[in-house]
């Protein structure tokens, strides 16, 4: 019997494909955002508002992952031409290989900004590198103020955190102070942007995005 010491990231194979994706995105000059949030947090509504706000300013595309249906892809297809819907079946997240397959259906050299709307889930998608430039964590006030504390992996690894549906603050039990305290406990320097996507209140988010991508 022989023991072979290894110490290798379990997701090394996914990371290798993610590296290929990242190289291709870099060559194409497209900025890629992996959007991670719970079901119902408003990921698709945020992308609808974002694509609308960016129309004419940069060329956008979306890869959208859902276990089933093409409903989100159809919603987003009203605002940009390049949309690919990935159905993951029982899969609870997108992986780098699925994104690579979706890239084959896109003309990434014609894009300035590509959103990857991950499957609604705050746990599984976080560990899988897709080749993105920025990982964005989306929370909403209707989910409760404890979600950041319960999902430290996302808080610790996201480039920016978004808090959506702040227009509902008066109607739900949500302590902004508690939410922020939990985030600051894990990451004193975390950037948090508040939004109300369905009301079009996303200016701070657009201001975060635009300097990062090529504009017309």
Segment contacting another protein (CB under 8 A): 34-42, 70-78, 125-133, 163-171? Answer: 125-133
Contact call for residue 172 and another protein (CB under 8 A): no
Contact call for residue 135 and another protein (CB under 8 A): no
Contact call for residue 68 and another protein (CB under 8 A): no
Footprint (CB under 8 A) of another protein, residues 27-56: none
Half-sphere exposure in the Cβ direction for 135 (13 Å, CA): 17
CB atoms within 10 A of CB 110: 12
H or E segment at 52? helix 43-54
Segment contacting another protein (CB under 8 A): 20-28, 42-50, 136-144, 152-160? Answer: 152-160
Name which of 186 and 204 has its Cβ closer to another protein: 186
Query: Distance between CA atoms of 155 and 184, rounded to whole angstroms?
Result: 10
Query: Distance between CA atoms of 31 and 47, rounded to whole angstroms?
Result: 15
DSSP character at residue 144: -
Q: Which residues bind another protein (CB under 8 A)?
A: 1-14, 90-93, 95, 123-124, 126-128, 149, 151-153, 156, 181-182, 184-186, 188
């Amino acid at each position: 019997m022989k023991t072979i010491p290894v110490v290798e990231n379990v997701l090394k194979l996914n990371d290798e494909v993610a590296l290929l994706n990242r190289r291709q995105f870099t060559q194409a000059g497209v900025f890629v955002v992996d959007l991670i949030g719970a079901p119902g947090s408003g990921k698709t509504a945020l992308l609808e508002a974002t694509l609308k706000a960016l129309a004419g300013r940069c060329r956008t595309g979306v890869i959208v992952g859902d276990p089933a249906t093409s409903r989100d892809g159809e919603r987003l297809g009203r605002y940009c031409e390049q949309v690919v819907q990935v159905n993951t079946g029982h899969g609870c997240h997108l992986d780098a290989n699925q994104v690579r397959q979706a890239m084959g259906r896109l003309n990434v050299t014609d894009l300035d900004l590509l959103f990857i709307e991950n499957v609604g889930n705050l746990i599984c998608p976080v560990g899988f590198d897709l080749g993105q430039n920025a990982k964005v964590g989306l929370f909403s006030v209707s989910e409760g103020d404890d979600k950041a504390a319960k999902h430290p992996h996302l808080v610790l690894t996201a480039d920016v955190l978004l808090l959506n549906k702040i227009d509902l603050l008066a109607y739900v039990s949500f302590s902004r102070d508690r939410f922020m305290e939990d985030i600051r406990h894990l990451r004193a320097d975390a950037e948090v942007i508040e939004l109300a996507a369905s009301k079009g209140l996303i200016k701070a988010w657009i201001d975060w995005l635009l300097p990062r991508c090529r504009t017309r």
